[in-house]
Copies of this chain bind each other. A is one copy, B any other.
């Protein structure tokens, strides 16, 4: 069972806190808007502009991303927690 996000939405699996401290990116406690790390597990095809043309995604399945912590809607599929968010809530790709 899976979820196909619509338009410019992605399905994101949040990276566990324990993993985050192993990785190189640490979010300072003093940050006003704390970003969080996650992995793109499903993606929509992109947003449709005012002239009807598809604007393709900058992200692909498998990307590790940094996203705005207050973005996204929580959902649990087959026992795993995910977030559905718009691409615009994503700050960057961790490489």
Question: A residues bordering B, Cβ < 8 Å?
Answer: 1-7, 9, 11, 23-28, 30-33, 35, 42, 44-45, 48-55, 58-59, 66, 68, 73-79, 81, 84, 87, 90-95
Contacts and interface: CB of A to CB of B under 8 A. Distances in A.
A65 to B, nearest CB: 8
A12 B90 CA distance: 17
Contacts of A23: 1
Contacts of A24: 1, 77-79
Contacts of A55: 48, 52
Given A35-B75, A35-B84, A66-B84, A3 B52 contact: no
Tell me how many chains of this kind the complex includes. 7
A19 B68 CA distance: 30
Given A27-B76, A75-B35, A76-B28, A87 B6 contact: yes
Contacts of A79: 24, 26
